[in-house]
Structure 1
Amino acid sequence: MSAAAPLPAVPTSPGMSISPEVCEALAAGRPVVALESTLLAHGLPRPDNRAAADEVEAAVRVGGAVPATIAVLDGVPHVGLTADEVDRVCADPDLAKLGVRDLPVAAALGLSGATTVSSTALLAARAGIGVFATGGLGGVHRQSADTFDESADLVALARTSLVVVCAGVKSILDVPATLERLESLSVTVVGYRTTTFPGFYVADSGSTVDWSVDDAAQAAAVFAARRDLVPGAVVVANPLPTGEQLDPALHDRVIAGALAAAEDAGVRGKAVTPFVLDHLHRASEGATLAVNVRLVLRNAELAGQIAAALAALPR
């Protein structure tokens, strides 16, 4: 007997489509974790990105939740992708990068794109998903006093109620300024079993946070309390173990080289991050890629555990 054909995505509101598995989990109150698609389309090289997509979703399931990778396809936000849709996101070199400001354009013109942290958070919250796993947040760029360059992630997190599990902010950014900005926006930041704020590829960015949680249940409880008080995100900063981080000396050397290369090439604005990440991958001979995948998998599994703990709390 041949296998049954997969069910089509289930539209749950005008302009949004949620996969049957995710829709059923949400309706039953089971844990779901949102995943961004920019990591797949723009953060990891092909064909490594396709294998990583399956590994990240599997890590969410290990944590006890249903994965919901989010992307915009032909103008429609999709929450939860089929294998063919993941193939499409991973294979298209021209796929747009969509933040919150870009979603109306994509929707109106029927365009496709991968969602960033800001747009993934927005779409996840609209779908009723309370937990989101990513690699590293965007933040305040270096020399922002001159450029005013700051990621839209920060304002989006101030407005959106969900837990975001990350490995800090990308280490090419101004980490202390980013933490100050998160404080100004009243975004709750807690370390996972640490008060040291991670530096993405390395366990210690040199900055600290005021609060920490010991386990997934505490993280879920913090978010539940925040949700009852005021809209906004809880950022759970989950550092890599020191034995799995990028060698700090190599990290500092390749970061300095990448930033200098971007300056020499005149790269500005949103083009800086992909330029620098590509330079880091080449300069480290692939070491940054391996670390990036490791930290995303750890964040996905922890997010699954937090989502499971959150689903167990009374509403």
Structure 2
Amino acid sequence: MIAAHRVGIPVFVTGGIGGVHRDGHNSLDISADLTELGRTPIAVVSAGVKSILDIGRTLEFLETQGVCVATYGMTKSFPAFFSPLSGFSSAYHVCNPSEAASLIASSLSLGLQNGVLIAVPIPEEHAAAGQHIEEAIQAAVTEASSKCVIGKDVTPFILQKVNELTQGKSLQANMALIRNNAKVGSQIACALSKQTHRRNLSTNTKSDIVVIGGINVDFIAKGKTKKINFGQTNPGSVCQSFGGVGRNIADSLSRLGQAPLFISATGCDANSDAVFNYCKHMNTSGVARLKGHNTATYCVVISESGELSFGLGDMDIHQQITENYVSQFEKQLSSAALVCLDGNIPVSTINYICSLAKKHNINVWYEPTDVERASKPFLTDAWKSLSYSSPNMAELCNMNKTLGIATPDGKQIIHNK
């Protein structure tokens, strides 16, 4: 939970949280989960609290810690791990991922340090088995009490006894719970990401990140035979996807809620329509649609095993991402925290961005795209304004070669590894 929060993950999924142990009001045996939830702004999705614990006092303790507790479902009934009913109620309930995401977003937006607990009842198809397991738990708890099992020995004693009484069914139900929690948690996380993204688009007056690069429409033709026979029609399948290194970067950042300004160029054709329809979640206000030009396309033919037969690319429009066009966004570029460039754009545009970066102290990330394009910033002193780059080994070797830096050949590199 702490690690997830530290790296910016707002939704954390687990099986069940710890709580106040029975007789905890005397022993003060209280799980650290509860205090951590009270000081970590994160949403925890779990199947509630295990019934071997004192659920009532656990909920009271969470309230004292300022933790918002909500049941995922149509009622406020708080689940007891293997059972959908514990006899206690949550303060709230959410009916679907969107409602859960709204609750989490509202809580986190307050800037407080406490978290949110979303309690997910056991799926209906496992409720009967869950009830049988709960009965076994109660029997195990009673036996532990009669045998004066106390302290840290209680939990392992009960778990072992429950496994014996249910003949291993408790483990199967436990796995089903975890899978269900993971499913619900991922749905909530996706809904939260979409809500955060929409909020960023509506409130951001400027882009902290600007991405400049290519957009491609990719067509992948895969044969249904081991060998592609040229000069004739081959059986196979064709699928369409959307690429371009710049577009991929902007897409990924957008899905992470960053809403970067994306600057690129497409034609004014059906492929462009498809791109804009697919990229509705992105800020494409910087993408020019140019009449008389084709949207960049890449067609590849592969065999049944995935071996490349040949590929064709129409990438000429990337040369229209000119210094003159990009300069229209100088205000956004000058105030950006980061500008990402891909190797598809012209050298003159790269030089222009790097000169702005030097003037305004902007961080610039250069993604080489391929070996041939990797050297573009290194043809002049533009590379001195780069803050980051992400080449593979072949691209790095070409960069070094352009700068006149000796680079080991392939055999030496492999040997050194």
The alignment's TM-score, normalised by the length of structure 2, stands at 0.44
Asked if residue 294 in structure 1 is aligned to residue 162 in structure 2, the reply is no
Contact preservation (8 Å) 2:18, 2:49: yes
Asked if residue 284 in structure 1 is aligned to residue 166 in structure 2, the reply is yes
Query: Does the residue aligned with 1:204 lie in a helix, a strand or coil?
Result: coil
Corresponding residue number in structure 1 for 2:234: none
- Cα distance in 1 for partners of 2:147, 2:80 equals 25
Gaps of 5+ in 1: 1-120
Mapping of residues 259-274 of structure 1, within 5 Å: 259-263=141-145, 266-274=148-156
Flag the structure with more relative contact order, 1 or 2, with Cα contacts below 8 A and sequence separation at least 6: 1
Corresponding residue number in structure 2 for 1:80: none
Question: How far 1:248 sits from its partner (Å)?
Answer: 6.3
Aligned AA (1:139): G
Corresponding residue number in structure 2 for 1:209: 90
Question: How far 1:265 sits from its partner (Å)?
Answer: 5.3
Contact preservation (8 Å) 2:65, 2:114: no
- Cα distance in 2 for partners of 1:248, 1:140 equals 22
- Cα distance in 1 for partners of 2:35, 2:85 equals 24
Asked if residue 253 in structure 1 is aligned to residue 132 in structure 2, the reply is no
Asked if residue 224 in structure 1 is aligned to residue 102 in structure 2, the reply is no
Corresponding residue number in structure 1 for 2:346: none
After superposition, the CA RMSD in angstroms is 1.8
Question: How far 1:303 sits from its partner (Å)?
Answer: 0.8
Question: How far 1:264 sits from its partner (Å)?
Answer: 5.2
Corresponding residue number in structure 1 for 2:35: 155
Question: How far 1:182 sits from its partner (Å)?
Answer: 0.8
Corresponding residue number in structure 1 for 2:192: 310
Mapping of residues 100-249 of structure 1, within 5 Å: 121-193=1-73, 194-229=75-110, 230-247=112-129
Aligned AA (1:169): V
The alignment's TM-score, normalised by the length of structure 1, stands at 0.58
Contact preservation (8 Å) 1:137, 1:169: yes
Aligned AA (2:90): V
Query: Does the residue aligned with 1:165 lie in a helix, a strand or coil?
Result: strand
Mapping of residues 52-131 of structure 1, within 5 Å: 121-131=1-11
**Distance 1:268-1:246 versus aligned 2 partners, 3 A rule:** farther
Question: How far 1:144 sits from its partner (Å)?
Answer: 1.2
- Cα distance in 1 for partners of 2:135, 2:97 equals 35
- Cα distance in 1 for partners of 2:67, 2:128 equals 28
- Cα distance in 1 for partners of 2:29, 2:143 equals 18
Q: Which has the larger radius of gyration?
A: 2
Query: Does the residue aligned with 1:295 lie in a helix, a strand or coil?
Result: helix
Aligned AA (1:134): T
Contact preservation (8 Å) 1:134, 1:166: yes
Question: How far 1:146 sits from its partner (Å)?
Answer: 2.0
Aligned AA (1:216): P
Q: Percent identity?
A: 39
**Distance 1:311-1:281 versus aligned 2 partners, 3 A rule:** same
Question: How far 1:156 sits from its partner (Å)?
Answer: 0.3
Decide which moves more: 270-279 or 124-133: 270-279
